Structure 1
Amino acid sequence: MAAASAVTAPVGPPPVPDQARGLTALVADLTLEQKVGQLFVTYLHGQSPDEAHPGNVRDFGVATPAEVVAKYQPGGVIYFNNASYDNIDTPRQVANLSNGLQAASPVPLTVATDQEAGLVTRIGPPATQFPGNMALGAGRSARDAERAAAVSARELRAMGVNQDFAPDADVNSNPANPVIGVRSYSGDPALAAELTAAQVRGYQQTPLSPRSVSATAKHFPGHGDTAEDSHTSLPTVDRTAEQWRAVDAPPFRAAIAAGVDSIMTAHIRMPAIDPSGEPATLSKPVLDLLRGELGYDGVVITDSLHMAGVRQLHPDAEVPVLALKAGVDQLLMPVNLGEAIDRVVAAVRSGELTEQRIDRSVLRVLRMKSLRGLFSRVPTTPERVDSTVGAAEHLAAARAITDRTTTAVRNDAGVLPLASRPTAPLVTGWGDATTRTLAGLLGGTALPTGSAPAEAQISAAARAAGNADLVVVLTNGLSRQPAQQALVARLLATGRPVVAVAVQNPYDVAHTAAPTWLATYSYNPVALESLARVITGEVRPSGRLPVAVPGPTPYPFGHGLGW
């Protein structure tokens, strides 16, 4: 159960700053409890502002999302599409939730979600889908990256979402990274920096634009060289300061130069910068690099405080205070919102934190809200949702952008381009929905075999291949899955033409003898549609590898075939 105390309700109408009073005057008008509330971004349970949900009763002591906002007056909320929180169903529903929560909040809320595109996508169709960052890296087009972000921003804002926890600015320099991978644009710092800046411009467009959202570059100081997942552990990055400046810092520098509204911290250790063992989220030396060396004066927000990477060294209630001491402004998803607010308020009253320190962060948060025009208090409408989300021109842009990302890595047997459309293609390998979707697009048969196919599944796929005039085998994580490698080998042994496709990390292509390899970096429908067009010859592949691919048959950064 959450702590019993709550933010004191304001007297009179909601405060709205104008040119005469300004944001500084608004900060002065808030009580200490209200100021501290502005520093928290919380999850909620349920899809309607007035929906009673047992999760809210358990975690916050009130029943509905609107009551959580009214009771604690957080600075922001975050939406998820999973069973734990279940905030997202349809675009109209999301818009109604957003409007209701804003109406319950004395100060406009940041309404956020993780709509990175590709692997991390919270709002699915009919919202326009893009293949994700590494696909954009393969496309090598800053213009396409900016356009994709602008489309996402316009649709999110129509649903009342005004902050996107994107783009992922990590440089994926470690092929074994279990949590970043295709969420990164590239293993090349310069390319990652160029596309990070482009997407910041696309998300934010111009100040006060009703089509813009606050972009959030993540995960500072850089999560790309980890071999562990900070959701479940506290990873260590053994870079020197000089290596960090050369590899990880450029995308964050570029985001700052592009005017990014917020930057998210990583729950990772960097001993060369801070030998104390604290995660970056709680490390003043690490965040001093951001504030000092990089000169950033925007909002710094933590990654989720539910994650194991920030919970291993300190009690949950202490983490928000330590993060504020380190230089953070916003605290995302504290384990217990009531206790977290109480602990920060107590730290101020005891002198552990000064109210001036709190005021600096509150001012940054309010400035971000003002930049996105949130104080105008204009709700979204069903008509705006219907005319914006999944608009025909947005879907056309997604198709065109994605068509420029598919990469032909190997074509030694000359299987592609096909002389004619196959009449009996077989699509097999990883992903039930993925194989079935692609089989439907090609007019063929699907035989999914999963991530670790058993011998019986491999044999069944080989038998089915004997009746096919083209075999397409999809892989995901093949470099770490001997059974997937065995599947590809058995399919090749049938003598049928085989096209192997890495539908997530491109590192798969170095680990089998398949003479024909494509990489899509994504298995969402828009990526599979482009893949089908490449296979059938409707589109020529033009993507280039945005990472170097190590392994038995390595490929360099920038490699890509065409025909």
Structure 2
Amino acid sequence: MTRSKRPWKIGVVAVLCGVLIASTTTSAAAEPNTNGMPERVSEWLEGLKREIFVKFQLMRMTTEEKVGQLFVTYAYGDSSDTTDPTDVADNQSAHGVDNGDELVETYNLGGVIYFSWSNNLNDPHQIAGLSNGLQETAVEATGTPLLISTDQEHGIVTRIGPPVTQLPGAMAIGATHDPELAYTAGQISGQELRALGINQNFAPVADVNVNPGNPVIGVRSFGSNPQHVADMVTAQVNGYQSAGDLASTVKHFPGHGDTDVDSHLGLPVITHTYEEWRELDAPPFEAAIAADVDTVMTAHIQFPELDESLRPATLSEPILTGLLRDELGYDGVVVTDSLSMEGVRSEYGDDRVPVMALLAGADMLLMPPDIDLAYNAVMDAVDTGEISRNRIDESVARILRLKHSLGLFDDPLADPDKIDECVGTPANLAAAQDISDQSTTLISNDGTLPIAATGDVFVTGWGVSTTATMAGHFADRGWDSTNLTTGTTPTPADIAEAVDAAEGNDLIVITTNNLAAYPEQADLAAALSQTGIPVVAVAVQNPYDVAHYVDQTVASLATYSYATAGLESAVAVILGENDPHGQLPVDVYRSDDPATILFEFGHGLTY
């Protein structure tokens, strides 16, 4: 596939734009300084300049280049021109190219997404080098820089590890009930990502998690109260976008919070009425749109009351155009969730899905399972007139506006010299720990906590690194600590071993994760609570765990995360070094009566 190499056209467009607005700029400078008029005129001029720029970009682009701008996918390798045999083989298998440079050149990609499994995210300087290599190739090949994205939600969906600051995830931040902390987390993360050459983050999650059994959202959501989630989403969007050089993405429209099927594996169905959607699901998306969020990601869900055709939302014109565009007034970039997920592939072929998504109102097509098939399917749809050229231009214009607004046409590159002074700084790490400390929630306590004395502690339950890390935090404070991992589904023999190992200790700490799916962990808690030794149960992901052992343990905490900072915060609360400040961001229902609330949204004990 032959592609034109025309980077000089960026300069030509810039010159033409400057000539066209020169006289307007001069007259604007003469405006009287009344009622903020110069600022409004400046904003108008910037908008005019951007629109002129976009028009010229569209004029100089071929159809092949325009279609390429609609696609975002991944490439294997820690550099854009990797020659590593494993990366080359993986790229050939996935895309029929050797490396990221060839992928960008062949398909004129609009964006690239990073994952650790594709060997993209090893360390900050490597990531910046990869980003710069891909950007240089994109500008050389098409004159258009890339959107470079990842899913750095933090919490359980964290793509980039240390030394990048590990911030609490959405539900932990939701437990602080402080939008300023959501803003701070977004601001820190946005600055660090941009230092690595990443200019688009697929976060925050705007789904309202009203279903405790949701297998794919859960603690990725800020909570179960629509207004609370809306406030947190707005703050985090503003934090991510505060510097103007990173795009935030709210997901998953029209709302993925009341599902019991993972859309990676199947097609979930939302049974809300339109009125329930407006009340429960829509508020965070409306709030994000009011905050000028840069991008919105679609959900692979059926929503019969919003589209009786039962097409997944990603392929639904009534949902993406009728609701998102027309009713909510959103005119920014709409990106699909991964087109490799079963939720969007279950009823339609991989050649039809990208075409249908564009016809529905999407702009960018994320990770089609076969990029060549998808690209050529869209080209064929344009050639036959199924997708009009005007429709393609609409989406490409939105993408170009976003890239222009982020400053990518001016300078898309990361500055390697600034990485160490920006990424994982002591101030950022301290802020992350402070947010975690304010999120830890004491759900139940009969007066056992806080523990004042030092002694012997036995840590057991879910997670090899989790139990070891928590035991280490106790040891750092002078406790004689031991730990035993009993896993997700402890057997009677595992439970008996834990009971024996607990003998002679002064304190037992149990870490739990997702008891609704793995109730055997509740059996462990029940057995240990019979030892006569004080027991603290720590839900290290879902706060709903407490419903399964609230009658069996002395005290229970929720950290919403098994990250090191969350476990440190839990130990500090157990030992009375910090008061528990967190309040539940969800309702917790009885495990034996799902219609009865056991602990309400906002519940949280303190010392």
Do they superpose with TM above 0.5?
yes
Distance (whole Å) between structure 2 residues aligned to residue 400 and residue 12 of structure 1: 46
Further displaced range: 533-542 or 430-439: 533-542
Q: Is the 8 A contact 2:534 2:554 kept in 1?
A: no
Pick the aligned partner of 1:539 from 578, 585, 603.
578
Kept after mapping to 1: 8 A contact 2:547/2:589: yes
Assess if the C-alpha contact under 8 Å between 1:7 and 1:37 holds in 2: no
Q: 1:480 to 1:57 in 2, by over 3 A?
A: closer
In the alignment, which residue of structure 2 is the partner of 1:49?
Answer: 80
Number of the residue aligned with 2:98: 63
Partner of 1:230: 263
Partner of 1:167: 204
> Residue 32 of structure 1 aligns with which residue?
63
Deviates more, 1:379-388 or 1:106-115: 379-388
Determine the structure 2 residue equivalent to 1:442. Answer: 474
Aligned to 2:519: 482
Normalised TM-score (structure 1): 0.96
> What does residue 127 of structure 1 align with?
164
Q: CA deviation at 1:477?
A: 1.0
Coordinate RMSD, CA, aligned:
1.2
Paired residue for 1:309?
343
Q: Counterpart of 1:429?
A: 461
Letter of the 2:559 partner, please give it: T
Pairing 1:271–2:312 present: no
> Deviation string for 1:250-305 (max 9, x for gaps)?
00001001110000000000001111110000000111200011000000000000
Letter in 2 for 1:558: G
Match of 1:216 among 207, 225, 249: 249
Which amino acid is the alignment partner of residue 605 of structure 2? L
* 8 Å contact from structure 2 (residues 131, 197) kept in 1: yes
Residues 197 and 412 of structure 2 are in contact (CA less than 8 Å); yes or no, is this contact kept in structure 1?
A: no
Distance 2:415 2:285 in 1: 35
The answer to whether the Cα contact below 8 Å between 1:7 and 1:34 also exists between their aligned partners in 2 is no
Size of the aligned set, in residue pairs, is 550
Give the residue type in structure 2 aligned to 1:59: A
Shift of 1:168: 0.2
Counterparts of 1:149 and 1:247 in 2: how far apart (Å)? 24
Matches of residues 132-531 of structure 1 in structure 2 within 5 Å?
A: 132-207=169-244, 212-287=245-320, 288-412=322-446, 414-420=447-453, 422-443=454-475, 444-512=481-549, 513=551, 514-531=553-570
| Counterpart pick for 2:109 among 67, 74, 77 | 74
Is the contact made by 2:255 and 2:282 (CA closer than 8 Å) also made in structure 1? yes
Contact 1:282 1:326 in 2 (8 A): yes
* 1:410–1:518 CA contact under 8 A, matched in 2: yes
Distance 1:14 1:305, change over 3 A: farther
CA contact (8 A) 1:411 1:515 kept: yes
Q: Distance in 2 between matches of 1:12 and 1:492?
A: 69
Whole-Å separation in 1 of the counterparts to 2:319 and 2:53: 32
For the residue of structure 2 that corresponds to 1:146, the secondary structure is helix
Please tell me whether the aligned partners of residues 116 and 167 of structure 1 are also in contact (alpha carbons under 8 angstroms): yes
Q: 2: distance between equivalents of 1:14 and 1:500?
A: 62
Structure 1 runs of 4+ with >6 Å offset: none
**1:8 lines up with 2:6 in the alignment:** no
What SS does the corresponding residue of 2:381 show, helix, strand or coil?
A: helix
Please say if residues 430 and 449 of structure 1, whose CA atoms lie closer than 8 Å, have aligned partners that are also in contact.
yes
For 1:39, the aligned partner's letter is: L
CA shift, 1:181, in A, is 0.2
Paired amino acid for 1:535: I
Letter in 2 for 1:8: R
Q: What CA deviation, in whole Å up to 9, does each residue of 1:212-271 have, x standing for no partner? A: 410000000000000000000000000110000000000000100111000000000000
Counterpart amino acid of 1:367?
R
Shift, 1:377, TM fit: 2.3
Residue 59 of structure 1: how far off its partner (Å): 2.3
Tell me the distance in 1 between the aligned counterparts of 2:437 and 2:10: 48
* Amino acid paired to 2:518: Q
Q: CA deviation at 1:482?
A: 2.7
Structure-1 separation of matches of 2:129 and 2:5: 24
State the match for 1:3 in structure 2: none
Structure 1 CA distance for aligned equivalents of residues 432 and 7 of structure 2: 46
Aligned sequence identity (%)? 51
3-state SS of 1:499 partner: strand
Q: 1:23 aligns with which of 54, 57, 69?
A: 54
Q: Is the 8 A contact 1:7 1:73 kept in 2?
A: no
- What is the CA–CA distance in structure 2 between the aligned matches of 1:390 and 1:254, rounded to whole Å? 30
CA shift for structure 1 position 467 = 2.2
What code does the residue aligned with 2:63 have? Answer: L
Gaps of 5+ in 2: 19-51, 476-480
Deviates more, 1:95-104 or 1:64-73: 64-73
* Contact map agreement 1:180 1:223 (CA 8 A) in 2: yes
- Tell me the CA shift for residue 545 of structure 1: 0.5
- For 1:106-165, what per-residue CA distance to the aligned partner results, in whole angstroms no more than 9, with x for missing partners? 311000000001010000111101120001110001000000010000000000000000
Provide the C-alpha distance between the structure 1 equivalents of 2:399 and 2:183, rounded to a whole number of angstroms.
25
Deviation at 1:14, TM superposition (A): 5.7
Note the alpha carbon deviations across 1:78-100, whole angstroms, 9 max, x for none: 00112xx2211111111111010
1:493–1:355: structure 2 CA closer, same or farther, 3 Å change rule?
same
Q: Distance in 2 between matches of 1:289 and 1:44?
A: 34
Looking at structure 1, the residues matched to 323 and 458 of structure 2 have their Cα atoms a distance apart, in angstroms, of 53
Question: Offset at 1:378?
Answer: 4.7
**Any conservation in 1 of the 2:589–2:598 contact (CA below 8 Å)?**
yes
For the 8 Å contact 2:213–2:516, the answer to whether it is kept is no
Q: Which amino acid aligns with 2:458?
A: L
Partners of 2:587 and 2:96 in 1: how far apart? 51
Structure 1 CA distance, aligned partners of 2:580 and 2:7?
61
Q: Is the 8 A contact 1:7 1:33 kept in 2?
A: no
Query: Which stretch shifts more, 524-533 or 319-328?
Result: 524-533
Greater Rg over alpha carbons, structure: 2
- Residue range with higher mean Cα deviation, 434-443 or 506-515: 506-515
SS at match of 1:267: coil
2:504 partner amino acid = N
Cα distance in 2 for residues equivalent to 1:448 and 1:14? 61
- Please give the per-residue CA displacement for 1:463-497, whole angstroms capped at 9, x wherever unaligned: 11112111110000123323111100111111001
Deviation at 1:8, TM superposition (A): 2.0
Q: How much does 1:403 deviate?
A: 0.6
Q: CA deviation at 1:206?
A: 4.3
CA contact (8 A) 1:7 1:72 kept: no
Task: Report deviation, 1:68.
Answer: 1.1
Give the aligned partner of residue 555 of structure 1.
599
TM-score (normalised: structure 2): 0.89
Superposition pairs for residues 101-112 of structure 1, below 5 Å?
Answer: 101-106=134-139, 107-112=144-149
- 1:92 corresponds to: 125
CA distance in 1, matches of 2:378, 2:91: 22
The answer as to whether partners of 2:350 and 2:373 remain within 8 angstroms in 1 is no
C-alpha contact (below 8 Å) 1:113/1:165 kept by paired residues: yes
